[in-house]
A = this chain, B = another copy of it.
Amino acid sequence: MPKTFPDNSVGLVVPQLMQFSEPLMLACGRELNNYQLAYETYGQLNANRSNAVLICHALSSNHHAAGYHEGDEKPGWWDACIGPGKPIDTQRFFVVCANNIGGCHGSTGPSSINPATGKPWGPDFPPLRARDWVHAQARLGDKLGIHQWAAIVGGSLGGMQAMRWSLEYPEKLRHCVVIASAMKLTAQNIAFNEIARNAIRSDPDFHQGNYAEYNTIPKRGLTLARMIGHVTYLSDDLMGRKFGRELRSGNFQQGSYNPVEFEVESYLHYQGDKFSEVFDANTYILITRILDYFDLAREYDDDPVKAFSQALCQFLVISFTTDWRFAPERSREITDALIAAGKDVCYAEIDAPQGHDAFLLPIERYLSLFAAYMQRVADEVSI
């Protein structure tokens, strides 16, 4: 943990837990009882409860979006965008971020105990859809006394939740910020997710998801899954700049190969290893399935214009030029549908070499336009 926090940090943060005893009816037809959500808040809720911003997290992140936990060297995953003077300015907003159900960082998920069996849910945890997350988040809002969000904000899978919010609870948000997202995945995206899941399932330590009973984790499979994901979150160009084709050994091995010879390989192994120690494999499978099945307009005759006609909020849509997993075309489709539906939408395509990861990074034009938009949102609150 830094000895002193930066001025624009929310500082030390303590995660909280909220218990829910009323059953949550899920899209799959099953019910989830007695679940809990881990969440964090930053900033102060104002008197008329109108300055709340909900952050929706993506595949591999969680409720720890900003600031520092006791003992941590690194801040939360979106610290670049949340804090005093940052785009989501905690001097003006009350910010809420919850680990979604099905997650593995404190909210009820596959590694939680299934009350019916007294053992971890494992692979028997109900399959979820993004709308289940939205409903759970809405209940959390109710408990916190937030009946309308100033904005709901998310990148990637987080943007999918934000869009779903605008259709499911049109009166409950005034602004929807959708970053590096899509109305549905492409076949290529689904293919990469399936390969990642297959890597996990192929690991003999997976035991069809019941690894907890065997006192093991499918570490090799989860490492591979993360490596695959990681390559697709970066641009080819950035990988070239970051690693070039540098040999770790400085030169060829003669007569035999090193198992890991190039810098890029070493980096991927490190990232994969680290991830496999903190993330749950059943959660990874469950959340990639949520991504694959997400299809904003499915219940609206596959017509995005008809879908967005439900919405009452204003929209900010942002994409990044080198993001090939959630390409700018996908964001333009969102924007086009919003315009056709007569909605108020700002769209920005940010020139950035970092690929999909760009949405997490302090890129100047990105931060400044995001800040300008959010300032407008905050100014409305003050009126």
Contact = CB atoms under 8 A, between A and B. Distances in A.
B240 A186 contact: yes
A262 to B, nearest CB: 5
Contacts of A239: 186-188, 191
Interface stretch (A33-41, A69-77, A251-259, A373-381): A251-259
A242 interface: yes
A264 interface: yes
B202 A268 contact: no
Given A192-B231, A268-B194, A254 B185 contact: no
Contact of A187 (B224, B236, B257): B236
A106 B336 CA distance: 56
Interface string A112-139: 0000000000000011000000000000
A33 B371 CA distance: 68
A96 interface: no
Interface string A259-302: 11110110011000000000000000000010011010000000
Nearest to A355: B188
A228 interface: yes
A180 interface: no
Contact of A264 (B194, B198, B223): B194
A195 B231 contact: yes
Nearest to A124: B256
Contact of A255 (B127, B198, B224): B127
A199 interface: yes
B187 A245 contact: yes
A294 B239 CA distance: 18
Given A224-B199, A252-B293, A257-B127, A191 B29 contact: no
Contacts of A257: 127, 289
Contacts of A295: 245
A186 B262 CA distance: 11
B268 A228 contact: no
Interface of A: 28-30, 126-127, 184-188, 190-192, 194-195, 198-199, 201-204, 220-221, 223-224, 227-228, 231, 234, 236, 239-240, 242-245, 252-257, 259-262, 264-265, 268-269, 289, 292-293, 295, 324
Given A29-B254, A187-B244, A188-B240, 5 more contacts: A28-B256, A187-B243, A195-B227, A199-B199, A245-B295
The 5 closest A-B pairs by CB, nearest first: A187-B239, A202-B220, A188-B236, A194-B265, A187-B243
